[in-house]
A and B are shown apart, each in its own frame.
Chain A
Amino acid sequence: MKYRVTTATRTSRVAGLVTLAVLVFVALAPQWGTRADLRLIVEFCYFLALAQMWNLLAGYAGLVSVGQQAFVGLGGYGLFVFTIYLGVSPLMAMLLSGIAAAIFALPTAFVVFRLRGAYFAIGTWVVAEVYRLSFAQVSALGGGSGKSLPISVIRSIADSRAEREVLIFYVGLAVAVFATGIVYWILRSRHGLALTAIRDSEPASESLGVNNFNAKLVIYVIAAAVTGFVGALIFIQKLRISPDAAFALTDWTAYVIFIVVIGGIGRIEGPIIGTIVFFVLQEFLAELGTWYLMILGIMAVVIMLKAPQGLWGLVADRFGIQFFPVQRRLHVEATRDKEA
């Protein structure tokens, strides 16, 4: 008997082409879009990247962190430290900020990995607060009131404002594609099998030879690196940083959780759908101020109760489609095909 294993499906091939077409269209935005369009797309990109990372943590590794703003903040401050005090070029500084966030993730993991479930969530939050309060003490970085990126550094990104915006736009697009791509790549790898197993049953995965602790640690560090890079991107766009903005629970974690929950946790497509929904809502409801946040909260609660698999989950489960197929399907090629 012959065995063959495939992952791709017909819809996934079509989806691949559609994704590519959309990407090309978006990549040409500097030709067709206004400055405001570019800015909005960069915001979309960094929320998508943050959401992909949070989904990887919570949806697969079972690490429900509410402290990812720690790494956004570390990455953001990393940008300022590397460019202002170490004279590194901005793009290189963004990469180094991601690496720095990953390095900080190790001692952070050492603390929070001792905690389980809800305690883990609270622990990550507390650690993020510790980082926020610590950075507020550093007067060289502007203490509690923050610091602006000096003109010399801004000029070193690119000479004109238009060029800077285009450069930041492409970095944003790249990180969104990278974040989605790395999640997809991890899930299709051997490590992805372990993660999905951990998501479904920790005792069973451990007793089948999976080192749960290491598998989770690797994911925590990868998520920190990408989140840190995104942090640097956010603050190179904003040009000004303060502890409250850098370590903002609402902006960098609460919205991100909303995006993942609405879109569909534990699925690669979830963060994409969630980010689209989030930006559409923001477009129409942002003037409502506090009411906007309440509407987001109510939506999240309703989705969690009525459709815990998220909006994408509703569609995917009904029609059996996967845009990013990670399932391995076994085909038996014998005298007769016994595939179910």
Chain B
Amino acid sequence: MAELLRLDGASKLFGSLVVIDDLSMHLDEGEALGVIGPNGAGKTTLFNLISGGLKPNAGTVRFGGRDITAVSPHRRCKMGIGRSYQIPHPFEGMTVFENLLVGACFGTDRAEKQCYEPCAQILEQTGLIAKANRLAGSLTLLERKRLELARALASGPRVLLLDEIAGGLTEAECSELVETIREIRTTGMSIIWIEHIVHALVSVVDRLMVINFGRLIEDGDPHAVMKSPMVQEIYMGISAE
């Protein structure tokens, strides 16, 4: 499979605090990669480096064979990096449908009229069609999470970055959302998914990465990674002894 995304020796410092420490990783076209790690491990910062919200202090980010380290976030979106935020950032004064239109119009550089049909289809796919004309500010948490996902999809991504999209949901809501993500996966969409709800994650992803203190700890088959003593100790808080 062709390589889609690669980070080489990426580091990010906030003042003297090292958040991402010489981290290298890659993602193949069509692959689903899960990312886990304790709070403050640097997972969201990793997403910001990929989506362009933050620039690394060292190292490079490559996407589709191009060095995009210096490329701005909106250009990266047009290139095919779509992201959802951990804390939903809906455009509250716009309708759900208009929220998607923003992604579709600007993420794919199409005229507005050409975006209507694809946006309506994504609303169907993500179970939001009945809420299409509701203001995004009036949505429930599950709907806001779905909107994050739908809006990122509307921007026509080649890779979808999902940041704790199932966080804060009930068990039932979580499995509903996992079902939607699984459907999206059937279209061959590449994803990187940060999640604390490990069983949801492991049921979808092809590969699992563990980071701690901004460093890559483990990387490989999800089930093998979860069983590794280092993960049990660091992530699950179970002593290796």
**A residues apposed to B, CB below 8 Å:** 1, 3, 5, 189-190, 193-194, 196-197, 199-201, 203-212, 266, 327-330, 332, 338-340
Contact = CB atoms under 8 A, between A and B. Distances in A.
Given A196-B91, A209-B155, 9 more contacts: A3-B116, A190-B112, A193-B112, A206-B72, A208-B82, A327-B95, A329-B95, A329-B97, A330-B95
Interface string B72-102: 1110011000110100011111110111011
B93 A207 contact: no
Nearest to A339: B133
Given A200-B94, A327-B98, A329-B97, A207 B129 contact: no
B46 interface: no
A210 B72 CA distance: 11
Interface of B: 51-53, 72-74, 77-78, 82-83, 85, 89-95, 97-99, 101-103, 105-109, 111-112, 116-117, 119-120, 123-124, 129-134, 151-152, 154-155
Contact of A206 (B74, B92, B130, B151): B74
B144 to A, nearest CB: 12
Contacts of A194: 102, 105-106
B7 to A, nearest CB: 18
A209 B154 CA distance: 11
A208 B94 contact: no
Given A328-B98, A340-B131, A203 B74 contact: no
B93 A5 contact: no
Nearest to B92: A200
B91 A204 contact: yes
Contacts of A207: 51-53, 73-74, 77, 82-83
A197 B91 contact: yes
A209 B85 CA distance: 15
Contact of B78 (A189, A209, A339): A209
Contacts of B97: 5, 328-330
Contact of A208 (B92, B103, B123): B103
Nearest to A328: B98
Nearest to B119: A330
Nearest to A200: B91
A209 B112 contact: no
B12 to A, nearest CB: 17
Contacts of B106: 193-194, 205, 208-211
A5 B114 CA distance: 11
A203 B129 contact: no
B51 A332 contact: no
A338 B123 CA distance: 12
B132 A340 contact: yes
B102 A340 contact: no
Contacts of B85: 203-204
Given A328-B95, A330-B97, A340-B131, A203 B89 contact: yes
Contacts of A200: 90-94
Nearest to B131: A340
A205 B116 contact: no
Contact of B98 (A196, A209, A332, A338): A196
A196 B93 contact: yes
A227 B99 CA distance: 31
B52 to A, nearest CB: 8
Given A200-B92, A201-B91, A193 B102 contact: yes
B155 A208 contact: yes
